[in-house]
Every structure is written in structure tokens, then in C-alpha cells.
Amino acid sequence: MLTNNKNVLNWVDEMVALTKPDKVVWIDGSKEQLDEIRKQSVESGEMIKLNEEKLPNCYLHRTLPNDVARVEHRTFICTRNKEDAGPTNNWEDPQVMYKKLGEMFDGVMKGRTMYVIPYLMGPVGSEFSKVGFEITDSNYVVLNMDIMTRMGKDAIDQLGETSNDFVRGLHSKADIDEEKRYICQFPEDNTIWSINSAYGGNVLLGKKCFALRIASFQGKNEGWMAEHMLILGIENPQGEVKYICAAFPSACGKTNLAMLIPPEVYKKAGYKVWCVGDDISWLRQGPDGRLWAINPENGFFGVAPGTNLKSNPNALHSTEEGTIFTNVALNLDTNTVWWEGLDKNPPTNAINWKGEKWDCTDGSKGAHPNSRFTAPARNCPCISKEFNNPQGVPISAIVFGGRRAKTAPLVYQSRDWNHGVFVGSIMASETTAAATGAVGVVRRDPMAMLPFCGYHMADYFQHWIDMGQKLGDKAPKIFNVNWFRTDDEGNFIWPGFGDNLRVLSWILDRCEGKVDAVETPIGFGPKVEDINIDGLSIDETTVANLLNVDKELWKEEVGGIHEFYGKFGDRLPKELIAELQTLENNLE
């Protein structure tokens, strides 16, 4: 037993009585204990130890083919009133779900070891940080939670002997039956239950389940924000660092932006970029009135395919030690890993992600398209020295973005905070050929939080508006970017990757009042000459094209916004209705 906290002990006793494990192990986070669990995992065949010279302390894990991604349709927000979950979440009555899952959890750990994992989301000693406990029968979960969170004694110390403010997570692999797979959040009870999955996004309960779905609800009630945002520091040649939070739907280059490498012209001038977080931000008002952010996580749970020395060298270097790879290919000649897009040399003697002998010439994939790496943040070459700062970092700008071929310009600034909330609420991406279904369909994903908001999305918009009132003139400026404008042949016009720093520089110049802007129907755009294109093969005419606002396309967009807003009925904040009206007027 690691704690005398009666609230924790009583809850653990209840879960033991429910799941009936053979053995209960409290995870203290010590190297000895974790090494023993790694050893067991290799002996049982659950994990494969990789080449110690090339990938020290790294392991390969495979999930079942029916269990390779987050499952939105099996993910529920269980609130007492259905209305409080809202139209964008799957809802179920908590009593119904506790009963249903309670029957599935009854005796599920017979013959297995139950692990009790105390973990901390956020830096040690930070008032931002929150404690969770995850009970699981999975070695994989224990070892991943060690990378992704501050696990063990630090969490116990932060909670103290009397507090009841911790998130209760219960997980069992059970039979990994996809028909009985449930990931349920009970925000009013600070509780998460997950069963019949062994895939990271469904079972590492500190990640999306706690750090976004539960935390977004906590933030609304406690006056802070949990957001699906990277945190990035940009250091200028004078050594001053300014911080940006940015939200993007998947497949829009979020991790690449979080670990951006400055283009040559900026590098030579002395610019540096620091990663504070690649996925989740918790933001609250600091004593100085500004908005401050921490990254609640301690590692990266990144998508492997496409990660390489060109697309994201910092992410790749992060995986070189102490990493768990999931569902990638195994190179038998070198006992290392490989995935599509890593390099042009697929291994000829290999095992694919399903554990089968793999022939790289037969057109099949060696790694699953959603294969992952769980890597310690400390490995990242550009990790910020503020990463563990209990105060977090002060945020100058909030950036929203999506993938739009024609509609959204390269960058524009909102007129004020409420207009910025409107810009975030209408965020959208067009589907690509990578997703099943029609190409070019507009999918709305407000603030990139659609799958992760733990309560009614209209109330979430209202919370943003309330935060703006609290912050007043100290609020960060809000912007929208679109790296994905295409020409008539469908080629991307903007180079992207490291060159996105050119746009972020304009954003920071705007925050500091160093440059003027041009008023457009949708917000403030840059003057063409204020986007630095030194060293690029595009000219000012191309930049003007990238910044152009097509009124006819935006009139079509207004129709889509009306349709989306219609879902929220009377709960939609009146401020957003007014912003939509302003947009319509501006387009006339």
C-alpha cells in the first residue's frame, strides 16, 4: 500500500471486490518494479525487446487486428441529464452503464494481476496538476503510463492523505471483444471505465479520457480550460521566448508544428523553437491576469507512419531510447522497427504488425496506418526548459487551423476574443483520400475538440466566452491558419513544415503591435510584404493569392455554419449568433 488516503483505499477495495484479481500490485514507479514488469512482458510474448545498441530500452508491442484505434462509436459521456452531454457526444444514463459494465467487470481479473497506478497529469508540485488512479490488468498500460505521466510516489504525495479530488479509472482487457468494447466517461463522478480494448487511446486513461473529456468538464466547473492544443515556444535572436497554443484536427501537421525546425534563413538569424507539448494544454489565468498553459503529459503518443528525418526529425529522435512501439513492422535482420514513410528501404526479412512474415513487395503494409510510438518527452531535442515548470508558460496567441483547399486563407486574425471563439467554433477540414468516403467533404471540428469535449459543446463555447471576459485585455490574440491551400491542379501552394514559422512570426508581430493588418470580411489579414518569403521559391503574387478571401466561397461556408449551429438549439451562445450575422453582413 502506497497511501493511507481512505478515499483511495475504499475505492480500490470496491474495485478488487468487483473484478476479483488473483493478486494486487501497487505501482510505485521504481525502476526495479518496472524492469520486472518488462521482463514478464517479454517472457509472456506480449512485448519484444529490441536491439539494445540501436534502440536502448525499447520494445515492440502488437494489438489484435480488431483493436487498433480509438473507437468513437463505443465512447460514451454518461451524465445524469442527457442534455448535458449534448448533440455531439454519445450519451448513456450512468446508472444503466454502471450496471451494464459492472456485469462485464464482475470477476474479469480472475487469474490475473491487478495493477493500481497512481499518476499525475502535469508537472510535480503545480497547482495546475491533477491526480488520477488507473486500475488495469495490462502490463502494456503500466509501461505506457510510466512514459506518458508522472507515475507513482509523486502522484501520491500531490494527492495527500485526505483529498478526494482524483480521477478513478478502471480498465480491463477482458476478452478484447469489439462487440463489448466500451470507453465510458462519467464526468460528474470523476470516473472512467474502459473494457475490451488494449489499444493506447482507449486504455491509457490519463490521455484523451482524463486530460480532455474529464478535464474539460472540471475546467468548466473550476474556471480553467482543457484543450486539444500543442504548446510551442519561439525564441527570437534577442533570446526572448513567446508561447503559442494551437489546435488542429488530425492529419493537419500538429506534431510537426509542435517540433518545428526553423528554415535556414531564420536559423541563421538566431531563431529557435521549443516544444512544451504536442497534443494537450491545460490553461488557466495566472496571478498576472494572463493565460498560462501546462502540458499535462510527460511523453508523446505519436503516429509512426510518415515520421522520418525530413518530416519530423525531432519526433524521430525522441523515439531512440525508452520507447514502446505499437503495431509497426519488425526488421528481423537488425531487431529494429520500420514503418511506411520511415525511409525508402523496407526490410526484406521482416514481420508485419499482425505478427506475420512480411514481403515488402506484395503491396501490403508492414505497419498499421495508425501504428504508434510512446516516447519520453525528455528525449526530444527541442524540449523546452520550461517543460516541468509548475507555473507553466504565458500564452501570447491561440491558433486554430484546418485543411481547406480554397476557402480559408493562409492566416487571418480575429477582431477580438468573441470573434476568435467564433473562428474556433467553425473550424473545419476537408476529407482527403486517406479517409474512407467522399473526398472534399467539410467536417466541422470546433477547436479540434469534437471527439474530446466531456459535456455539451454549446456550453463549452459559452465557457470560452466566459474565460475571455475574465481575461479582459490580457487575453491572447486568436488566429486561424491554413497550410493546405491548393492550386487548380491540386498541388499545395505553401511549402509548410519549417516554413510555417514565417506565418507564426507574423502572428507574434501582431501580438506585439509591430505590424499593421488589412481588414477583410472574415478578420484581419497580413499585408503581403509582411510575410517573409526570403529563400522561398514563391513570390508576392503567390502570397497575395494565399491570403485572398473569396466572398462567394465564404457565402457557401455560411450555409454550412448555420447547419452546424442548428444542432445546438437554444444553448448556442448569443455572442456566436451575433458573430455569424456580422460575417454575413460583411460578405454582402
Active-site option among 184, 245, 252, 275 = 252
Rounded-to-integer distance, Cα 185 and Cα 197, Å: 15
Query: Given a cut of 70, is residue 438 above it in pLDDT?
Result: no
Q: Specify the pLDDT at position 466.
A: 98
- CA torsion 198→200→205→209, rounded to 10°? -120
Q: Specify the pLDDT at position 433.
A: 53
b/e sequence 193-210, b meaning 16+ C-beta within 10 Å = bbbbbbbbbbbbbbbbbb
Q: Give the pLDDT mean for 138-150.
A: 98
Rounded-to-integer distance, Cα 93 and Cα 188, Å: 12
CB 47, CB 38: distance < 8 Å: yes
Q: Specify the pLDDT at position 437.
A: 56
Q: Convert the pLDDT of each residue in 68-119 to its tens digit.
A: 999 999 999 999 999 999 999 999 999 999 999 999 999 999 999 999 999 9
Q: Specify the pLDDT at position 147.
A: 98
Grid cell in block for residue 178: 469489439
Whether pTM > 0.85 for this model: the answer is yes
Q: Specify the pLDDT at position 120.
A: 98
Q: Give the pLDDT mean for 201-222.
A: 98
Q: Specify the pLDDT at position 25.
A: 98
Residue ranges and CATH numbers for the domains of the chain are: 6-44+69-223 (3.40.449.10), 227-298+386-587 (3.90.228.20), 300-379 (2.170.8.10)
Minimal CA–CA distance to 2: which of 113, 141, 115?
A: 115
Strand 393-401 and strand 477-481: pairing?
parallel
Rounded-to-integer distance, Cα 91 and Cα 484, Å: 34
Residues recorded for the chain: 588
Which DSSP helix (H) or strand (E) runs through 519?
A: strand 517-520
Q: Which of the residue ranges 1-5, 96-100, 352-356 would you say has the lowest mean pLDDT?
A: 1-5
**Secondary structure E strands in 163-290:** 166-172, 182-186, 191-195, 225-227, 230-235, 241-247, 272-277, 281-285
Query: Given a cut of 90, is residue 361 above it in pLDDT?
Result: yes
Over pLDDT 70: what percentage of the chain? 99
Mean per-residue pLDDT over the chain, rounded: 97
Q: Specify the pLDDT at position 440.
A: 76
Rounded-to-integer distance, Cα 410 and Cα 417, Å: 20
pLDDT classification of 441: cutoffs 50, 70, 90: confident
* 252 included as an active-site residue: yes
Q: Give the pLDDT mean for 268-284.
A: 98
pLDDT classification of 277: cutoffs 50, 70, 90: very high
Q: Convert the pLDDT of each residue in 366-395 to its tens digit.
A: 999 999 999 999 999 999 999 999 999 999
Q: Specify the pLDDT at position 431.
A: 74
Instruction: Tell me the angle at which helices 31-43 and 139-148 cross, rounded to the nearest 10 degrees.
Output: 140
Rounded-to-integer distance, Cα 195 and Cα 106, Å: 12
Q: Specify the pLDDT at position 109.
A: 98
Q: Which residue has the cell 493511507?
A: 4
pLDDT classification of 439: cutoffs 50, 70, 90: low
Query: Given a cut of 70, is residue 231 above it in pLDDT?
Result: yes
Q: Give the pLDDT mean for 150-157.
A: 97
